[in-house]
Structure 1
Amino acid sequence: MKDTYIDKTAIVDNGAKIGKGTKIWHFSHIMKGAIIGNECSLGQNCFVGDRAVIGNGVKIQNNVSVYGMVTIEDDVFVGPSAVFTNDLNPRASYPKNGDWVPTLIKKGASIGANATIVCGTTIGEWSFIAAGAVVTKNVSDFALVAGVPAKIIGWMCECGERLSFDVENKDQKEIIINTCPKCGRKYEKIENSIKQIKGK
């Protein structure tokens, strides 16, 4: 495993935990109490707050702030200038003193450039948040969401290929099977959620 790299312009406070092989680039700031796993990459001008947790193999592009109480699981991609919040109703005159609202980004999810993730939400495994989307509620595993506020417009394979499920028929009850045209993984759709079929 490669050694950790911290650019000379980055600031890592005492008490922050940085995993092996992780790279932290120019002008980033990692606060005391932050936890970053192995083999991650944080682009320039990133911020990771106290009580923020980042898993292994996470790629965070330039100009992203991961505030306290945000948890990012393994293999997540966060695009440039994506925004996380941790306060649903901020007031300068009434500070919360660390009483933040948690957010969970689950394994393999991708968050597009300039997307906003409102706190208190869970972003499902291998889901895909389109660039510029504003996420105000939980996102299902493998869902492709876009818009303001973000809504499901499709489904994504684990490999990143778009799947061809019909998401318009919300009364659909039968199980629909779909095979990814790129990698061959199989999925089943029941109503408005899908899951990967293992071992087929």
Structure 2
Amino acid sequence: MTDAPSPSPTVFVHPSADVEEGAQVGEGTKIWHLAHVRSTARVGSGCVIGRNVYVDAEVVVGDLVKIQNNVSVYQGVTLEDEVFVGPCAVFTNDFRPRAQNPDWKITPTLVRRGASIGANATLVCGIEVGEYAMVAAGSVVTRDVAPYQLVAGNPARPKGWVNERGDVVSRDPHPPTP
């Protein structure tokens, strides 16, 4: 761990956290116990980075994002503004992981504005979670999630639709017709 000063007077970095030199951290962000933010990561303003969160190199975290305890956000993941990530959620960045792979390429994942990822959910790389979508706790997301869609299960399947507050507005798994 480093004793690097907070990136800004309004940023709180717990003494046990490691924010590497070069990391960009926005105003009003709080980084809690044992978190690690890599040097090329960008974390927006007003975020809460929980205990034991790892924010890898090149990760982009928007403004007003809350990442709960024990989450690793690996390279290739982008979390837009106002995203919620529940405790112990998992992001992957490799379709064919091997300890040694000279041809390894990062497969990006995008979580759009206002989406919520439930506790212990797993997001397989290469997907997009739409604006204000909701992924239920424990789900394994292997496909894109539409904006405002509620998904649950393993693999995650459509279960309904939510509004911007997260209230379930329909249990019909099919998209609403105009």
Taking structure 2 as the reference length, the TM-score comes to 0.91
Q: Which has the larger radius of gyration?
A: 1
Aligned-residue sequence identity (percent) comes to 50
Report the AA paired with residue 12 of structure 2: Y
Residues matched between the structures, number:
170
Task: Find the aligned partners of 2:85 and 2:56 in 1 and give their Cα distance.
Answer: 16
Q: 1:119 to 1:143 in 2, by over 3 A?
A: same
Paired letter, 1:65: S
TM-score (norm 1): 0.82
Determine whether 1:121 maps to 2:119. Answer: no
Following the alignment from structure 2 to structure 1, what is the Cα–Cα distance between the partners of residues 14 and 26?
A: 15
The one-letter amino acid paired with 1:162 is V
| In the alignment, structure 1 residue 12 sits paired with structure 2 residue 19 | yes
Structure-2 residue corresponding to 1:44: 51
- The answer for the alignment partner of 1:56 in structure 2 is 63
Q: Secondary structure at the match of 2:151?
A: strand
Query: What is aligned with 2:100?
Result: 93
Q: Which structure 1 residue ranges, 4+ long, deviate > 4 Å from structure 2?
A: none
1:189 equivalent in alignment to 2:176: yes
Name the SS of the counterpart of 2:158 in structure 1: strand
Say whether the 8 Å CA contact 2:161–2:172 is kept in structure 1.
Answer: no
Separation (CA, whole Å) in 2 of partners of 1:103 and 1:121: 5
Please state whether the residue corresponding to 1:141 is helix, strand or coil: coil
For 1:102, the equivalent position in structure 2 comes to: 108
Q: Mind listing any 5+ residue stretches in structure 1 that lack a counterpart?
A: 171-187, 195-200
Partners of 2:66 and 2:101 lie apart in 1 by 34
In 2, distance between residues paired with 1:166 and 1:54? 32
- RMSD across aligned positions (CA): 1.6
Report the CA distance between 1:159 and its aligned residue. 1.1
